[in-house]
Amino acid sequence: MKVVQIVKKLNNTELGKRKMNDTYVLIPNDLDIKEIFEVKGKPVEFEDKYTHEKVTVKNTVDKEKRITGLGEYYKKQGLSAGDEIIFEKREIGSRIEYVVYVKKNDDILVFQKARQGFEILTPERLGRYSNITAGSGETLEITFLTSGKIRKDSPVTTDFYDIKVSGKSLMDRFSAKELGEIRFQGNRIKVNPFYGWKKYTFETEEE
Protein backbone atom coordinates (compact mmCIF):
# COMPACT_ATOMS: atom_id res chain seq x y z
CA MET A 1 0.00 0.00 0.00
CA LYS A 2 1.34 3.40 -0.99
CA VAL A 3 0.52 6.24 1.39
CA VAL A 4 0.83 9.99 0.85
CA GLN A 5 0.44 11.79 4.16
CA ILE A 6 0.17 15.47 5.07
CA VAL A 7 0.50 16.31 8.78
CA LYS A 8 -0.45 19.79 10.02
CA LYS A 9 0.06 21.04 13.56
CA LEU A 10 -2.85 23.39 14.19
CA ASN A 11 -2.88 26.85 15.73
CA ASN A 12 -5.73 28.83 17.28
CA THR A 13 -6.44 30.83 14.13
CA GLU A 14 -7.03 27.65 12.11
CA LEU A 15 -9.23 26.29 14.90
CA GLY A 16 -11.42 29.40 14.88
CA LYS A 17 -10.41 30.40 18.42
CA ARG A 18 -9.49 33.97 17.48
CA LYS A 19 -13.16 35.04 17.53
CA MET A 20 -13.23 34.50 13.77
CA ASN A 21 -15.73 32.27 11.95
CA ASP A 22 -13.13 30.63 9.71
CA THR A 23 -11.83 27.13 10.43
CA TYR A 24 -9.31 25.63 8.05
CA VAL A 25 -5.84 24.21 7.50
CA LEU A 26 -3.32 26.71 6.15
CA ILE A 27 -0.97 25.22 3.56
CA PRO A 28 2.30 26.94 2.60
CA ASN A 29 2.40 28.00 -1.03
CA ASP A 30 5.52 25.92 -1.61
CA LEU A 31 3.93 22.69 -0.33
CA ASP A 32 2.62 20.52 -3.17
CA ILE A 33 -0.62 18.82 -2.12
CA LYS A 34 -1.73 17.72 -5.61
CA GLU A 35 -1.11 14.07 -4.80
CA ILE A 36 -4.08 14.23 -2.42
CA PHE A 37 -6.03 17.28 -3.60
CA GLU A 38 -5.66 16.92 -7.34
CA VAL A 39 -8.08 19.65 -8.47
CA LYS A 40 -8.36 23.06 -6.80
CA GLY A 41 -11.80 23.61 -5.33
CA LYS A 42 -12.99 20.04 -5.94
CA PRO A 43 -14.45 18.41 -2.81
CA VAL A 44 -12.67 15.29 -1.55
CA GLU A 45 -14.45 12.92 0.83
CA PHE A 46 -12.30 11.53 3.64
CA GLU A 47 -13.21 8.92 6.23
CA ASP A 48 -12.10 9.27 9.84
CA LYS A 49 -9.67 6.47 10.64
CA TYR A 50 -11.31 5.66 13.97
CA THR A 51 -14.97 6.77 13.85
CA HIS A 52 -15.51 6.21 10.08
CA GLU A 53 -17.27 9.58 9.91
CA LYS A 54 -17.32 11.09 6.42
CA VAL A 55 -15.57 14.46 6.18
CA THR A 56 -15.77 16.41 2.93
CA VAL A 57 -13.14 19.11 2.41
CA LYS A 58 -11.59 21.01 -0.47
CA ASN A 59 -8.51 23.07 -1.13
CA THR A 60 -9.04 26.72 -1.94
CA VAL A 61 -6.60 29.28 -3.23
CA ASP A 62 -7.28 32.98 -2.72
CA LYS A 63 -4.80 35.09 -0.77
CA GLU A 64 -3.82 31.88 1.01
CA LYS A 65 -3.83 28.18 0.19
CA ARG A 66 -6.28 26.49 2.54
CA ILE A 67 -8.09 23.21 3.16
CA THR A 68 -11.63 24.16 4.19
CA GLY A 69 -14.81 22.47 5.40
CA LEU A 70 -13.46 21.32 8.76
CA GLY A 71 -15.57 23.31 11.23
CA GLU A 72 -17.85 20.51 12.45
CA TYR A 73 -15.02 17.99 12.47
CA TYR A 74 -12.89 20.27 14.64
CA LYS A 75 -15.78 20.73 17.11
CA LYS A 76 -16.40 17.01 17.45
CA GLN A 77 -12.70 16.33 18.04
CA GLY A 78 -12.33 19.05 20.70
CA LEU A 79 -8.97 20.25 19.38
CA SER A 80 -6.46 22.66 20.89
CA ALA A 81 -3.43 24.48 19.52
CA GLY A 82 -0.61 21.98 19.03
CA ASP A 83 -2.89 19.10 18.05
CA GLU A 84 -2.26 17.57 14.63
CA ILE A 85 -4.56 16.70 11.75
CA ILE A 86 -3.41 14.04 9.30
CA PHE A 87 -4.68 13.63 5.74
CA GLU A 88 -3.82 10.40 3.92
CA LYS A 89 -4.30 9.10 0.41
CA ARG A 90 -3.92 5.33 0.31
CA GLU A 91 -3.40 3.46 -2.94
CA ILE A 92 -4.24 -0.22 -2.49
CA GLY A 93 -3.87 -1.83 -5.89
CA SER A 94 -6.43 -0.07 -8.08
CA ARG A 95 -8.40 1.18 -5.05
CA ILE A 96 -7.89 4.63 -3.55
CA GLU A 97 -8.92 5.59 -0.02
CA TYR A 98 -8.87 9.02 1.63
CA VAL A 99 -8.39 8.93 5.40
CA VAL A 100 -8.30 11.70 8.02
CA TYR A 101 -7.59 11.57 11.75
CA VAL A 102 -6.16 13.68 14.55
CA LYS A 103 -3.40 13.28 17.09
CA LYS A 104 -3.88 15.18 20.33
CA ASN A 105 -0.82 16.56 22.09
CA ASP A 106 -2.26 17.18 25.54
CA ASP A 107 1.18 17.25 27.16
CA ILE A 108 2.45 20.48 25.57
CA LEU A 109 2.02 24.15 26.41
CA VAL A 110 1.79 26.22 23.22
CA PHE A 111 2.68 29.91 23.14
CA GLN A 112 3.15 32.72 20.64
CA LYS A 113 5.35 35.76 20.96
CA ALA A 114 3.75 39.18 20.68
CA ARG A 115 4.96 42.70 21.33
CA GLN A 116 3.60 42.63 24.88
CA GLY A 117 4.97 39.18 25.80
CA PHE A 118 3.94 35.58 25.22
CA GLU A 119 0.32 34.65 24.58
CA ILE A 120 -0.52 31.20 25.94
CA LEU A 121 -2.52 29.38 23.25
CA THR A 122 -3.46 26.50 25.55
CA PRO A 123 -4.46 28.47 28.67
CA GLU A 124 -6.37 25.51 30.12
CA ARG A 125 -2.96 23.88 30.76
CA LEU A 126 -1.33 26.91 32.35
CA GLY A 127 -1.76 25.63 35.89
CA ARG A 128 0.19 22.47 35.11
CA TYR A 129 3.20 24.42 33.86
CA SER A 130 3.48 27.38 36.21
CA ASN A 131 6.37 27.61 38.65
CA ILE A 132 7.62 24.03 38.74
CA THR A 133 10.95 22.27 39.05
CA ALA A 134 11.86 19.29 36.85
CA GLY A 135 13.81 16.27 38.05
CA SER A 136 16.92 17.69 36.37
CA GLY A 137 16.73 20.76 38.59
CA GLU A 138 15.55 23.00 35.74
CA THR A 139 12.82 25.44 36.69
CA LEU A 140 9.90 26.74 34.66
CA GLU A 141 8.39 30.07 35.65
CA ILE A 142 5.45 31.70 33.87
CA THR A 143 4.69 35.23 35.05
CA PHE A 144 1.74 37.42 34.08
CA LEU A 145 2.85 40.71 32.48
CA THR A 146 -0.18 42.58 31.14
CA SER A 147 -3.49 42.38 29.29
CA GLY A 148 -4.15 44.07 25.97
CA LYS A 149 -5.30 43.72 22.41
CA ILE A 150 -3.13 41.87 19.91
CA ARG A 151 -4.35 44.26 17.20
CA LYS A 152 -6.30 47.50 17.41
CA ASP A 153 -9.34 45.79 15.89
CA SER A 154 -9.15 42.72 18.14
CA PRO A 155 -12.59 42.06 19.71
CA VAL A 156 -11.14 40.83 23.02
CA THR A 157 -8.19 41.50 25.29
CA THR A 158 -5.45 38.90 25.71
CA ASP A 159 -3.24 38.06 28.67
CA PHE A 160 0.52 38.12 28.09
CA TYR A 161 3.24 36.40 30.08
CA ASP A 162 6.97 36.05 30.43
CA ILE A 163 8.29 32.49 30.32
CA LYS A 164 11.59 31.66 32.03
CA VAL A 165 13.51 28.38 32.07
CA SER A 166 16.03 28.21 34.91
CA GLY A 167 15.70 31.95 35.37
CA LYS A 168 16.33 32.87 31.71
CA SER A 169 13.53 34.45 29.67
CA LEU A 170 12.59 32.92 26.32
CA MET A 171 11.86 36.34 24.82
CA ASP A 172 15.17 36.49 22.96
CA ARG A 173 14.77 32.97 21.55
CA PHE A 174 11.61 33.70 19.56
CA SER A 175 10.85 36.34 16.95
CA ALA A 176 7.60 38.29 16.65
CA LYS A 177 4.55 36.06 16.01
CA GLU A 178 6.66 32.91 16.25
CA LEU A 179 5.06 29.95 17.99
CA GLY A 180 6.76 27.58 20.40
CA GLU A 181 5.94 24.71 22.70
CA ILE A 182 7.06 23.40 26.07
CA ARG A 183 6.91 19.78 27.17
CA PHE A 184 8.49 17.57 29.79
CA GLN A 185 10.73 14.92 28.27
CA GLY A 186 11.98 12.52 30.89
CA ASN A 187 13.14 14.78 33.70
CA ARG A 188 13.96 17.70 31.40
CA ILE A 189 12.05 20.79 30.29
CA LYS A 190 12.11 20.94 26.50
CA VAL A 191 11.40 24.14 24.56
CA ASN A 192 10.94 23.70 20.82
CA PRO A 193 9.84 25.77 17.85
CA PHE A 194 6.38 24.96 16.55
CA TYR A 195 6.58 23.17 13.21
CA GLY A 196 3.74 23.83 10.80
CA TRP A 197 3.50 20.85 8.50
CA LYS A 198 5.15 17.63 7.36
CA LYS A 199 4.65 15.53 4.24
CA TYR A 200 5.50 11.86 3.86
CA THR A 201 5.27 9.30 1.08
CA PHE A 202 5.87 5.68 2.02
CA GLU A 203 4.98 2.05 1.38
CA THR A 204 3.41 -0.09 4.10
CA GLU A 205 1.41 -3.26 4.55
CA GLU A 206 -2.33 -2.96 4.10
CA GLU A 207 -4.16 -2.43 7.39
Ranges under pLDDT 70 in the chain: 19-20, 207
90 and 9, same structural domain? yes
28 and 97, same structural domain? yes
The DSSP string of the chain is -EEEEEEEE--TTTTT-SS-S--EEEE-TT---TTTS-STT--EEEEETTT--EEEEEEEESSSEEEE--HHHHHHHT--TT-EEEEEEEEETTEEEEEEEEE--TT-EEEEEETTEEEES-GGGHHHHSSEE-TTS-EEEEEEEEEE-SSTT-SS-EEEEEEEETTEESGGGS-TT-EEEEEEETTEEEEEE---EEEEEEE----
Query: β-pairing, 95-103 with 44-48?
Result: parallel
pLDDT in tens, 138-185: 999 999 999 998 877 777 889 999 999 999 999 999 999 999 999 998
Bridge partners of 82, per DSSP, are none
81 and 129, same structural domain? no
Looking at residue 22, what is its pLDDT? 87
134 and 69, same structural domain? no
181 and 123, same structural domain? yes
146 and 96, same structural domain? no
120 and 93, same structural domain? no
- CATH number for the domain spanning 65: value is 2.40.330.10
Domain count, the chain: 2
119 and 93, same structural domain? no
Looking at residue 156, what is its pLDDT? 83
28 and 73, same structural domain? yes
94 and 118, same structural domain? no
Which domain covers residue 176, as residue numbers? 109-193
Question: Residue 92: CA atoms inside 13 Å, Cβ hemisphere, count?
Answer: 11
82 and 115, same structural domain? no
Task: Please tell me whether the overall predicted TM-score, pTM, comes out greater than 0.95 for this model.
Answer: no
115 and 91, same structural domain? no
Looking at residue 20, what is its pLDDT? 66
